[in-house]
Chains A and B, each alone.
Chain A
Amino acid sequence: MVERGAILAVSLLLASCVQPGPTDSAAARGAAAADGTAAAAATPANPLRNVYFGDLHLHTRNSFDAYVFNVRASPEDAYAYAKGQTIKHAMGFDLRLSHAPLDFLAVTDHAEYLGVVQAIDTPGTTYSKLPYARDLFSNERAGILAAFARFAESLSSGKRLPELSDLSATRSAWQETLRSAERNNEPGKFTAFIGYEFTSMPELRNLHRNVIFSSDRAPAMPYSALESQNPEDLWRWMEQRRAEGMEVLSIPHNGNGSDGTMFERTLWNGQPIDRAYAELRSRNEPLVEITQAKGQSETMPLLSPNDELAGFELMTSYIGVSKQITKFEGGYARDALKRGMEIEREIGANPYKLGFVAGSDSHNSAGSYEEDQYFSKVGALDGSPDRRGAVPPADYKSWDEFYAAGKTVPVSSTWGSAGLTGIWAEQNTRESLFAALRRKETFATTGPRIRVRLFGGYELDGVNLATDDGVRRAYENAVPMGGDLVGKPGHKPQFVVIAMRDIHSAPLQRIQMVKGWLDASGKAHEKVFDVVCSDGGKVDATTQRCPDNGATVDLNTCEIARDKGAGQLHSGWSDPEFEPGQQAFYYARVIENPTCRWSTWDAVRAGVAPNPRLPKTIQERAYTSPIWFVPTKHVD
């Protein structure tokens, strides 16, 4: 009996070895985690709402494409990092947020093959006996890529690899996801959302979504793209979960890599969108992730030729392969907002009434949010400046020599540093933040913690959003970002917007308003208006643009001009082209002064010239969720 007991015990020992220590050790990392920067749990709810910054899109070693690039940091590590502690990068160096912890985080590992690659790397598991297990963890790049390609093919086809039909590893990793979110959720101080990524990419067209749960109530298993690649099936599954009392929403991302399929005019089966679809979709998908490491999906120059700032951090290829996107309509959020109005005109419901959020999509358990601290997106893949095309490889003395030899830099050179979501909510709890996500009182930033508020309404003269009284009046007389502003006969809507710079980033250059509207024939149009300029500049009434404020960047040091730009911008605005009968949307875009892109920072630190084929500077920005103007029925 003793022998049997002991043997059984040791056989179980092997099992418990499958998940090695980091979960425990992260928990033991000192008491600092118990006390973030936010005010204590006792802080009362603020009816005027506070801003909270966080990341709704982050991967850990449990994602197949993180583990294979040496990422070993766990969900527990992800929370430790978000709360300001130090964790390790896949290449061994330390990662720590440089200025402030995050207020919230959702760990969103790929549901497909969740936890499986780690199981393959664990001797003794049946997974580890796969013929390609050895290749996956060899030192041969070709072998790794060939083995890895099996996963990509599976996701492209939506068919589960037959040899990986055992879901135990996924069940176990999902439990780890739930447990770590529960352990790290600290109402009043830090919100940990349970979530995962639904990785649908039919024929490699990106239809990825993050699925976020509102509370600790989560299903036994995530619904993955290996169940169905059709997002409509995901939403139906979500509806069933909602009926069981699990509130949940999905957030699409990287429409820029969808080849025009993220925001289509047709259903999965090719039929035109109908009202049932529009309602199903908008009930489950009120938001879109507009910017992240793999570029922004707001708009691009071919879609918005009159928007001079549309060329920011573009990714114009498929995800994971070098194939070029050919269809941009249907891939970007601004275009989707326009389409949504066009479709609503025809069928009576808008499938694309989307608020904005942002994320990192980092696969390091740690988002790289700052250009001057950039450390990669996917572990060892782009974990050093030469691996991400910011510094020439050691064999080449200069970029000229490198490009003359016909070499190209990896696609990671086009990745940007991560985005953050800003949420206006009463307090830092799951309930409060999730309710704000639902009502779209959210904004997206490309990394800096720019704060921005936008209200649209009537009787807003003299409202100053820098004061509590002003905010109170705005809530009384206007709708915040994400809301519907209903037309009022005889009145022109007023907007009021305020933005403050991130003290650790650059001053602000201007605030713009992006308008989309529907003409009498039912066709949507767009226009960008500058609303308020820094440095005393005045918006030109003809061009609707601010004068150049002359802010410069020293490309040898990345120093920025200290005397240009604003700490805070605030303005009322009304649409000079307003037509009371036209349906429209308006969202604010806040623009920073130019700063060095991460690739330039890498080059400056290495003492080499920045890559001539990459942008040297960028203008970081924030985007508010839109306000939709809804004309009253009887227009005079």
Chain B
Amino acid sequence: MSTDEFNERAERGAKAMLTRAMREPLLQFLSIALVLFVANQLIHGSSVQISTELITISRGRVNQLAESYRLLTGRLPSRAELQALVDDFADEEIAYREAIAMGLDADDTIVRRRMRQKLEFLAEEAEASEEPTDEQLAGWLAEHAADYRLPERISFRQVMASADVHGARMNEEAAALLKQLRSGADASRLGDPSMLPSTLPSTTHQGVTALFGETFADAIFAHTGEGWFGPIVTPLGAHLISVLKREPARTMELAEIRGKLRSDWIEARRRDQREQFLARLRQRYSVAVEWPEMYLAQPAASDVSKIRHPLDTIHTSGE
């Protein structure tokens, strides 16, 4: 990526962030001074003309210092106040230059982390500000249909021969109950009552599992056919079941979940931008790791792409 391209992206990203960040109350305790030079360096290169001995602070910069002051206090600074801000800026610029020249930024974890964050943030924000169209959302839904499925639901009645009541005779009791149910007996008068629902409406596999356990849920969702069947045994007893209704799993329609699709789309877009950007940067570097002896003996990780900090030496062709 060229410098121009980067600057252009950065500017677009910055605009997007303006709207987003305006809502952010934490702004108030930011160090404005830090922001000023970092921002300027990042976006435009230095606006301060530096020779070996001369630091020129441009009119734009002075205006901008005044504007920052206005944002914080609600009024423009007086000449004297502005002079103090400008002096401070000059001191800071000098200190910053000296610190960079001395390499003080190089080993500072916080500075490094911050720079990386900002770079990634710019990358992901640059293009993520646009609103997806309906076509894009429909495409996203089609591509990720599995993520937007409503799970299968089932409604059923159950009659239980309680293990507490019948003990070892539980299954015999259940067999007798099944016979009666199949010959049309009134289910509400049969079996041992419990705090379990006798009719469970429209419930997912997870919901059935919560009440009856996974074995029961698997069995009832796998069952095909009409009428009373069973028993399915749980720690509570032997259950006889009649399925009332099945609602197959289905993918939701665009109109049902537009808001969620939109936020997912934007989030994915952001992530893609960041990853692509980092991948492009990565192409410009070769990384050689000098492994300490004790680690050389250990097996290398097999799938480097899944690991954020690669544990293996990577050689890619440099530019």
Contacts and interface: CB of A to CB of B under 8 A. Distances in A.
Given A11-B32, A27-B267, A568 B68 contact: no
Given A5-B18, A84-B206, A99-B209, A12 B67 contact: no
Interface in B200-229: 201-204, 206-207, 209-213
Given A15-B26, A100-B210, A464 B193 contact: yes
B14 A3 contact: no
A127 B263 contact: no
Nearest to A175: B25
Interface string A439-475: 0000000000101010000000000111100100000
B64 interface: yes
A101 interface: yes
B39 interface: yes
Given A6-B43, A9-B17, A466-B195, A15 B11 contact: no
A124 interface: yes
Contacts of A500: 194-196, 236
B194 A466 contact: yes
Interface stretch (B77-85, B87-95, B112-120, B131-139): B112-120
Interface in A5-26: 5-19, 24-25
Interface residues of B, number: 78
Interface stretch (A166-174, A222-230, A614-622): A166-174
A221 B193 CA distance: 49
A546 to B, nearest CB: 15
Interface string B1-43: 0000000001100110110111011111111101110111011
Interface of chain A: mostly helix, strand, loop or mixed: mixed
Interface stretch (B96-104, B143-151, B175-183, B296-304): B143-151
Most buried by A among B14, B38, B125, B260: B14
Contacts of A171: 25
A39 B206 CA distance: 11
Contact of B257 (A7, A15, A34, A175): A34
A31 B260 contact: yes
Contacts of A481: none
A135 to B, nearest CB: 14
A6 B11 contact: yes
Given A9-B18, A28-B263, A467 B30 contact: no
A38 interface: yes
B318 interface: no
Contacts of B111: 123
A18 B26 contact: yes
Interface string A40-72: 100100000000000000000000000000000
Contacts of B149: 31
Contact of B35 (A10, A24, A27): A10
Nearest to A31: B148
B319 to A, nearest CB: 28
Contact of A15 (B21, B43, B209, B268): B21
B280 interface: no
A172 B24 contact: yes
A36 B206 CA distance: 8
B231 interface: no
Contact of A169 (B29, B113, B196, B235): B29
B294 interface: no
Nearest to B28: A168
Contacts of B118: 13-14, 17
B44 interface: yes
Interface residues of A, number: 69
A4 B40 CA distance: 10
B203 A125 contact: no
Given A6-B14, A100-B210, A11 B236 contact: no
A39 B153 CA distance: 9
B236 A15 contact: no
A119 interface: yes
B252 interface: yes
Nearest to B195: A500
A451 B210 CA distance: 12
A346 interface: no
A570 to B, nearest CB: 9
Given A169-B29, A568-B162, A9 B148 contact: no
Contacts of A36: 204, 206-207
A124 B17 contact: no
Most buried by B among A8, A27, A126: A8
B264 interface: yes
A232 to B, nearest CB: 31
Contacts of B204: 35-37
A277 to B, nearest CB: 38
B237 A567 contact: yes
Contacts of A217: none
Nearest to B31: A124
A43 B197 CA distance: 15
A516 interface: no
Interface stretch (A197-205, A501-509, A624-632): A501-509
B210 A37 contact: yes
Contact of B163 (A17, A34, A168, A567): A567
A131 interface: no
B35 A124 contact: yes
A47 to B, nearest CB: 15
B213 A503 contact: yes
A84 B209 CA distance: 13
B121 interface: yes
A38 B207 contact: yes
Q: 4 closest pairs, A vs B, by CB?
A: A37-B207, A100-B210, A12-B21, A466-B193
15 contacts: A8-B64, A9-B17, A11-B36, A12-B24, A13-B14, A13-B21, A18-B26, A30-B147, A36-B204, A36-B207, A171-B25, A464-B193, A466-B194, A500-B194, A568-B236
Interface of A: 2-19, 24-25, 27-28, 30-31, 34-40, 43, 84, 99-101, 119, 123-127, 129, 166, 168-169, 171-172, 175, 449, 451, 453, 464-467, 470, 498-501, 503-504, 507, 534, 562, 566-568
